[in-house]
Chain A
Amino acid sequence: MDVNQAKQEHLLALKVMRLTKPTLFTNLPVTCEDRDLPGDLFGQLMREDPSTIKGAETLMLGEMLTLPQNFGNIFLGETFSSYISVHNDSNQVVKDILVKADLQTSSQRLNLSASNSAVAELKPECCIDDVIHHEVKEIGTHILVCAVSYTTHYGEKLYFRKFFKFQVLKPLDVKTKFYNAESDLSSVTDEVFLEAQIQNITTSPMFMEKVSLEPSMMYNVTELNMVTSGDQGESTFGKMSYLQPMDTRQYLYCLKPKPEYAEKAGVIKGVTVIGKLDIVWKTNLGERGRLQTSQLQRMAPGYGDIRLSLEMIPDTVNLEEPFDIICKITNCSERTMDLVLEMCNTRSIHWCGISGRQLGKLSPGGFLSLPLTVLSSVQGLQSISGLRLTDTFLKRTYEYDDIAQVCVVCPFTSNES
């Protein structure tokens, strides 16, 4: 390639500069007091320095903009902007100049030039300027291919190309976790919690402008990243919403199936689409980046053949005092079941009523509400366990332990003392 280069001097010169945002010039304040040897000299020098803030010269961060000093890093989701300048270095007029800028990625080739029409002529010392923008949507090697064709004064058609290679890096590491809030009363609504861990794997601080979950059609989403106090919400991440390099932040979302799907929620099985995360961040002077994850998928929790959920349960009960709970039993299987309910006492939980009672037939998708009475003999947080459902057709027993917790208190303690 070097040999090629030496072969001919072109009349035109092509220069490319990546336009990242400019930076603010910082100065280095060194001061002394009037009484010191230099007197006011240092102060005077700082006041005369155009890059200092007048009236507050010791403030490091100035207002002077400086152009980007290197190519820097470019990350997926950011916009690649570049200045392309074709300059006529010769002393003759050049005609029919066509500048073409393509971006070659591993999968495609994009044309980025603003115009594809040729410039009729270019006088000496003049240039053709173009600023290209492209939102980077692929990771890995990108090559900016700039091709210039032109006709010389003598009618000779010439052509040259230049390649500028750069790597697009991954800015964020996203990990998700699903929590099925099923074991407690919320099972009524089949809430799903999504925890998204977002890590800044770039080398600069990143302001997270937006991290939102766009739910799929089956769900409504509530963002749990704000604490509402009064009429103003406060972010759980504190006043400053930026991520230092390698910092990770957890975002939490609560998803509720829409009512029309909620009815069937117990029956939905397999993989469900929850939605996708939409992330917008900004860095130096508003350099923007945006990413969306693909659809997040969740394996709906298997409910087995029969799902037992609680519709009603008190949170606090008195010691040795019976209380009522209502269970909901849903047949999630494809067949009709004939169920028998057994209630086994545990160390602390005592069931009232008859164990081994027939619940009757339950068709697929059908459910029944079952009021039950329990009492606890032990104080504290007690787990309700010991329900057994037996399908008499298949002679299969389903065990339900730790269905819910209640807080058992002694009603007398407060009176005594």
Chain B
Amino acid sequence: MDTGESHAHRPVTLDITVEDVGTETSAPAPTEQTTSHTPSRNNVLPQEDSIDLGGEFATPQEDSSTTPSESLMDKLNDQMMESVMISDSPNNSEEDDVAPIDSFLDGPESENAGETSGDQEEQSEIGHSTTEIKVSVEKQEEEGMEESIEEDKKELTDTQKEITAFVSPQGDTQSPSDSQSEEAVSELAKVNTPKDEPVPVCTIFSQGTQPKSLVPDGFQPTLIKSPSFSMGSGGGSDGAVTPSKLTAPLVCQPSPSLSKFFTDNGQANPASDFFDSFTAPSSFISVSNPNADIPPGTSPAPIAPTPERQLSSTSSSISTPAPTQTPASAPATQPQPFNQLQAVFSGSDDPFATALSLSEVDRRHDAWLPCEETRKVLVSVATQQYSPAYAETNRLTMPGLKFDNLQGDAVKDLMLRFLGEQAATKRQVLTANSVEPSFNGLRQLISSKNWRAAVDLTGRLLTAHGQGYGKASQPTSHTTDSLQLWLVRLALLTKLNLFQNAELEFEPFGNLDQPDLYYEFYPTVYPGRRGSMVPFSMRLLHAELPQYLAKPQEALDRLHNLKTVCLAILENLEKGLAEDGSMITLTQENRQASLKLWRSRLSRVMYSMANCLLLMKDYVLAVETYHSIIQYEPQQCVQLLSGIGRIFLQIGDVKTAERYFQDVEKACQMKGSQLSHTTCVLMNRAFVYLSQNNYTEAHASFIEVLKIDPKNPVANNNAAVCLLYLGRLKESLGQLEGLVQQDPALYLHESVLFNLTTMYELESSRSTQKKQALLEAVACREGDSFNTQCLKLV
């Protein structure tokens, strides 16, 4: 059927040629002249025409065969955020009018040469960046060297097996000094016992100015071969090695528990050593999470954190009397009278009352429904049939850092390369060394956008907790704080687009449902406290992560699990039970607070699902899901409907988008005029104009937004983009440049800078200098988490 190309070039409306198939296919017709005539079946024999839209190419296969290199290039380009130039390579430019264009066309060889050389240029650039591993971690990540990563994983699991094979739990639990370096891991394979290891120095406490890498110089770690890690080894190779002697002799102090003040059983706690690997020298001791203590909203009594904590842990044992109580919570009062008590105290500044409401808050936030198996273990722990000390290792969560430090500042590296050493020394950012090693320091790093340094700091804090580098698969204990640290670390890795790293470190946590991740597992440390130690945000992060690693289906599965639990908890609450389904009478107030919390969590999960579906380009389900969020977050109705409208614009369905934008306008009218709503309506209108190719009107609408809200960064940026499409490059450039200079806080954003650098490239041959000026501006303001790719300098 496709062979009719010889008939090609029948001129039609669009110069599209269609094969002349009629004659061939209608072959049966003449034979029907014979006597037998059954009109029905034979004639229905369908003619199937394949319409070739182009005369030049005989078959679609041929078409595609000419393109793969291009599409591959596009893929690369997509990830590389390469320049938009069609092909500015000198190969294609000719000085003199030597070769007539026809020869260009007729000589496929020369064409190919041109093409391949273009390709090579691209590739060589890419190759270049791979060699430059130390400079840009993201870049390597995005190049997705999946193969090597996969290999690494294999290796990793192998080595882990080895570790578990050789590590004897008793030997290791008590001695943080054993925490192995990379070397240790490899030497494990040579049947060395951990004790034979040289006792290395803990990076955290060494007084060196430079942060230390755990990886000794010249030693290629097997665990961390993934390209994104090589940075760590490159960056801090000067450092001495690993864990500490220092940690060993220190007093063990489980930061959150303080249980010993309240538990009446004075007996030596066999597990306490086991738990208390959160060893802290000097400033470390106060590592506790004040946020956890503040009951959001209702009664924030201004009490010093410590007493609160004490009360909280004890009182929780009182107010949540599970049927299976530990002796620790012996003074258990009955719930009813207690609620009355609570009613009396509520609202007062009495620390006792605060403690009560705290326990409520704890229960509300920590509630989770473990899987059946885990639940059984927890019940048997509570009934003392089962001692956590003898838990099988495969049921335990044994996390550890998988790479030691990220210590890198891509901005500084670029400065070194383009602006020279002197300029680079001016770059001052906070590092893990320049803040106090505490939660406050951590917050400081996060808010100053030095997330790499913050990741480093979480690494140090976790090392101090005995979950440092190489500690994976070694029994450890968990505390509220250790899990919060993990949350921060993993969240930051995700924010930094270091998804593989995050996945690697998430791995030991399994599906976050091991018994040792629940408070019930530690009846002595957290007497009476119940629920999940893993913060909800961490579960969410864990569920979302696979979608960034090209496994969106897995992410959806996990998100659905979260949704199921949220729904079950909401159902329990509506039935008048506690979150976990136990028969505890809750006050109306508490029930409402709990319902509110879990509804908001549910809607957060729904958001993640919708985002994931959008990433999967399953627009039907994505739109449905976003739409269903409106019932949980009615105040976000306008934003959600506008968002759905934009999804339709993205697909190209302008009409449906307009329908949603009309709904937005109705919703805005109902809610009365707010500034944000007016801008939203105008913005939507601009997007519709844009989709109708009407850049003039789109620009006018964005300007309209700016009349109401002159500081609106989106409208400013978008107006500039429209100007470019209107052929007004200089104006557009001028506008964006002005914005970046006047208000760097708002406009030193990835997207704006990307637009700006693209326009620089289009404007002149001196774009590099201008980009370097941007780099300097960035260097003064942005932290180490700045994504330098948008400057397109490399």
Contacts and interface: CB of A to CB of B under 8 A. Distances in A.
A67 B84 contact: yes
B60 A201 contact: yes
Contacts of A304: 32-33, 37
A37 B291 contact: yes
A89 B29 CA distance: 71
B643 A37 contact: no
Given A63-B718, A141-B105, A176 B49 contact: yes
B184 to A, nearest CB: 30
A71 interface: yes
Given A66-B751, A239-B620, A167 B494 contact: no
The 5 closest A-B pairs by CB, nearest first: A286-B691, A282-B652, A299-B26, A139-B54, A183-B40
Nearest to B488: A37
A50 B762 CA distance: 25
B765 interface: yes
A66 B635 CA distance: 28
A293 B51 contact: yes
Interface residues of A, number: 152
Given A106-B56, A399-B36, A163 B94 contact: yes
B749 A49 contact: yes
Contacts of B47: 176-178, 298-299
A240 interface: yes
B724 interface: yes
Contact of A85 (B32, B97, B692, B763): B763
Given A34-B294, A178-B46, A301-B39, 19 more contacts: A24-B646, A33-B536, A35-B296, A36-B537, A37-B484, A50-B751, A56-B633, A56-B640, A60-B615, A61-B646, A61-B650, A69-B81, A85-B763, A138-B15, A145-B101, A174-B53, A175-B50, A180-B43, A292-B14
A285 B84 contact: no
Given A28-B495, A175-B50, A401 B38 contact: yes
A399 B646 contact: no
B487 interface: yes
B592 interface: no
Contact of A127 (B26, B74, B77, B729): B729
Given A2-B91, A131-B727, A175 B639 contact: no
Contacts of B114: 163, 165
Contact of A400 (B38, B497, B633, B639): B38
A73 B71 contact: yes
A34 B296 contact: yes
B778 to A, nearest CB: 15
A33 B60 CA distance: 53
Query: Max chain A CB contacts within 10 Å: which of B14, B60, B361?
Result: B14
Interface stretch (B189-197, B438-446, B661-669): B438-446
B747 A50 contact: yes
Interface string B537-580: 10011000000100000000000000000000000000000000
Contact of A182 (B43, B495, B611, B656): B43
Nearest to A75: B53
Interface stretch (A7-15, A256-264, A335-343): A7-15
Interface in A100-158: 104, 106, 109, 125-127, 129-131, 137-141, 143-145
B35 interface: yes
Query: Max chain A CB contacts within 10 Å: which of B63, B754, B759?
Result: B63
Interface string A385-397: 0000000000011
B609 to A, nearest CB: 11
Given A36-B484, A285-B691, A399 B44 contact: no
B784 to A, nearest CB: 14
Contact of A61 (B26, B643, B759): B643
Query: Max chain B CB contacts within 10 Å: which of A35, A39, A203, A298?
Result: A35
A30 B291 contact: no
Given A35-B296, A63-B683, A174-B51, A299 B39 contact: no
A42 B721 contact: no
Contacts of A29: 607, 611
A77 B12 CA distance: 13
Interface string B333-356: 000000000000000000000000
A246 to B, nearest CB: 12
B121 to A, nearest CB: 12
B296 A89 contact: no
B479 interface: no
Interface in B597-651: 604, 607-608, 610-611, 614-615, 617, 619-620, 623, 626, 633, 635-636, 638-640, 642-643, 646-647, 649-651
A143 B104 contact: yes
Interface stretch (A91-99, A204-212, A357-365, A406-414): A204-212
22 contacts: A1-B92, A5-B95, A35-B292, A36-B289, A37-B289, A37-B442, A56-B640, A63-B718, A64-B718, A69-B81, A129-B730, A140-B56, A160-B94, A170-B63, A177-B49, A207-B652, A281-B652, A283-B652, A286-B649, A286-B692, A298-B47, A302-B30
Interface in A217-245: 238-242, 244
Interface residues of B, number: 161
Contacts of A242: 619, 651-653
Interface stretch (B16-24, B139-147, B463-471): B16-24
A161 B86 CA distance: 15
Contacts of B16: 76, 137, 291-294
B153 interface: no
B84 A17 contact: yes
Query: Max chain A CB contacts within 10 Å: which of B38, B51, B97, B717?
Result: B51
A305 B441 CA distance: 96
A65 B33 CA distance: 66
Interface in B394-445: 439, 442-443
Interface string A365-405: 00000000000000000000000000000001111111100
Contacts of B294: 34-35
A199 B87 CA distance: 30
Nearest to A147: B97
A55 interface: yes
B755 A67 contact: yes
Contacts of B87: 164-165
A185 interface: no
B111 interface: yes
Contact of B90 (A5, A85, A106, A137): A5
Given A35-B365, A69-B81, A76-B54, A104 B643 contact: no
A164 B105 contact: no
Nearest to B51: A174
B86 A41 contact: no
Contact of B48 (A67, A175, A203): A175
B93 interface: yes
Contact of A292 (B12, B619, B647, B691): B12
A140 B443 contact: no
Interface string A274-309: 001000011111111011111111110111111111
A328 interface: no
A176 B643 CA distance: 38
Nearest to A207: B652
B66 interface: yes
Contacts of B607: 29, 58-59
B693 interface: yes
B714 A50 contact: yes
Contacts of B758: 17, 67
A287 B754 CA distance: 22
A83 B730 CA distance: 13
B48 A69 contact: no
A47 interface: no
B597 to A, nearest CB: 9
B484 to A, nearest CB: 4
B131 interface: no
Contacts of A60: 610-611, 614-615
A14 B755 CA distance: 19
A155 B35 CA distance: 88
